[in-house]
Chain A
Amino acid sequence: MGLEYVRISPGFEKYMPKDYVDLVQYGQFGKEVDVQQLGQFKELVEEHPMCAGCFMAYFIRVFYAALPKPEDTIVIGTAGCARLALSQAAVPFIYGNYGDTNAVASGLKRALNIRFPNKEKDVVVMAGDGGLIDIGFGMTMHSWFRRENFTTIMVDNEVYGNTGGQESGMSPKGVQLKMAPKGKQFEKINAVELAKTAGCVYVAKISPTNPKRIAKTVRRAVLAAREFGPTFIHAYTSCNIEYSIPTEKVLEDARKREKQDFGFYEWMTDEVKEFFEQLERAPQEVKA
């Protein structure tokens, strides 16, 4: 259906809070926005309870602006910081149990395929390093092995931020965090290689320093998941609280990490590459 459910019943426009009227009139539904116009249209997520200076919040903001079809997208999250903003967005959001995102997404995507075989319904998991690679590891991997058609985005802040700063499997080796009082004893898990091995058709690693590139990566991951199979984005979204990054230095930190170990990396299967070549060569003809 898509657009019909984000249209205000005739006569009720003047009784709706302005927030919602703006969402319909100046929002993203039914149109494609350029991420560089961010701030000049009514965004899908605005006020949220994430910390000041949180880079994950910034990434989420750009993520929503980049969705190819927000009116037919469902986002799934789990315990952690990201859900604080995700639950405030004007896109249906499922908050299940601890680390269950990729299992819930598997069931949901299959149900939508059964019920709407001829409609594009995008399912995107957005969860943290703890949710996807620690507690939800088995379900994350198996959703990839089964080649489920949805996108998984790991917003990696290298810590359990929401529970108060405990070590995660994605924390760098040696870092001293709660539950790692002597420093982390093993290396950061290589999620990107796991994703490739497990059958993802599009894999990207990104430090969100460039909104254009975030948007392009998100868009590619969502479109490839529709057509070919599981896709994965590993995004560095620092925790300025637990890693004591001054608010004004978060972008600087992201750039530093980009040079260090989060250089932009994109990998895709040949057929996905061919698909994007066609799609991006003739953007007017192939509409998302």
Chain B
Amino acid sequence: MPAEIVPGPSGYIPTPAVFEEVELSPPGYGLYLGQIVDELTAMREAARAMLTRRNPTIFPGPKILWGWNAHAMEEAKAILELSAEIPNCRIIPMPDYRPKYPKIDPEAEINPNHPNLTILHNKIEACIFVGVHCHYANLSLRMIRAGTNCFTIALCGELGHEDAMVSIRDLTPEKIRRFKEVLIEVREELGIHHSPTPPPENPSLPQEDFQTLSVLDYGEYSYLLLPRKDEQVTDTE
């Protein structure tokens, strides 16, 4: 009997859902709390979590953030449509997977090497992972379940995710839009009034303005960039 995969915190070190007999759902089905359910049920539970829990957030990954093909761009568009239907929804991207030095800005991004930082900083209690490669999504989902009380939803283009509270597999732009319809339906059932509003923009800190930046801004270090005349050592060939 597969374990029930519920929001954490589950403890110091998480036990992977796979070790607790949770299996990926067959085509046409999803997972809800580790159990195989029909896709509509999974979508409804995901919608309920995004509508009723605090600070619902969508974490789009590289597969849709970057417009590397038409399919990616269409999914990106569908995700933006979905986000507008969720009251107070935010979008916090996961643009890549490297451990980012010196640290991430938890309001501006999420990183698979410490996703819990972003979740805890923003007090996110429901989230959707979409467009993240499965390996990194699994790392994140497990860390989030270990250390936070966030309800995780995985919209996956492949086979889904055992460690998410809701897993939808074989994602397409159409399926995202179907999920959006289900979400609107659940929202109305819950009596929440909302007109489509796009999430707020990324609050990343202001950085260099490359339009006005000059080498002189580098002060004494500029010699490393621009050798002065006569400083060049003559070739020794």
> Per the CB under 8 Å rule, do A and B touch in the complex?
yes
Binding site for B on A (CB under 8 A): 1, 4-12, 14-20, 22, 25-26, 36-42, 47-49, 58, 84, 87-88, 209-212, 251, 255, 258-259, 263-266
Q: Write the chain B residue with the least CB distance to A93.
A: B98
Check if A19 sits within 8 Å of B67, measured CB to CB: no
Check if B68 sits within 8 Å of A263, measured CB to CB: no
Check if A264 sits within 8 Å of B237, measured CB to CB: yes
Given A9-B67, A17-B105, A17-B108, A22 and B210 contact (CB-CB distance below 8 Å) = yes
Produce 1/0 per residue, B216-237, CB < 8 A to A.
0110001111110000110111
Q: A17 CA to B100 CA in the complex, in Å?
A: 13
Check if B236 sits within 8 Å of A264, measured CB to CB: yes
**B73 near A: Cβ within 8 Å?**
yes
Check if B73 sits within 8 Å of A15, measured CB to CB: no
Check if A12 sits within 8 Å of B65, measured CB to CB: yes
Q: A38 CA to B100 CA in the complex, in Å?
A: 22
Q: A241 CA to B65 CA in the complex, in Å?
A: 40
Q: Which residues of B contact A41 (CB under 8 A)?
A: 210
Check if B66 sits within 8 Å of A8, measured CB to CB: yes
Give 5 nearest A-B pairs by CB, closest first. A263-B236, A9-B76, A26-B210, A9-B67, A18-B204
Q: Which residues of B contact A7 (CB under 8 A)?
A: 66-68
Q: Write the chain B residue with the least CB distance to A254.
A: B233
Check if A16 sits within 8 Å of B224, measured CB to CB: no
Question: What does DSSP make chain B's interface, helix, strand, loop or mixed?
Answer: loop
CB distance from A5 to the nearest CB of B (A): 4
Q: How many A-B residue pairs have CB under 8 A?
A: 123
Q: From the candidates A39, A40, A49, A259, name the one contacting B101 in the complex (CB within 8 A).
A: A49
Q: From the candidates A4, A48, A87, A211, name the one contacting B67 in the complex (CB within 8 A).
A: A4
In chain B between 116 and 173, which residues have their CB closer than 8 angstroms to a CB of chain A?
none
Q: From the candidates B76, B206, B225, B236, name the one contacting A18 in the complex (CB within 8 A).
A: B206
Given A38-B225, A209-B233, A211-B225, A10 and B73 contact (CB-CB distance below 8 Å) = yes
Q: Which residues of A contact B217 (CB under 8 A)?
A: 39
Check if B102 sits within 8 Å of A49, measured CB to CB: yes
Q: A265 CA to B233 CA in the complex, in Å?
A: 13
**B215 near A: Cβ within 8 Å?**
yes
CB distance from A60 to the nearest CB of B (A): 13
Check if A210 sits within 8 Å of B233, measured CB to CB: yes
CB distance from A56 to the nearest CB of B (A): 13
Q: Which residues of A contact B64 (CB under 8 A)?
A: 9, 12
**B202 near A: Cβ within 8 Å?**
yes
Check if A88 sits within 8 Å of B98, measured CB to CB: yes
A–B Cβ pairs within 8 angstroms, 26 of them: A7-B68, A8-B66, A8-B67, A9-B64, A10-B77, A12-B60, A15-B60, A18-B108, A18-B204, A19-B204, A19-B207, A20-B95, A22-B207, A26-B210, A38-B225, A39-B222, A40-B215, A49-B102, A210-B232, A211-B226, A211-B227, A255-B233, A258-B233, A263-B236, A264-B235, A266-B237
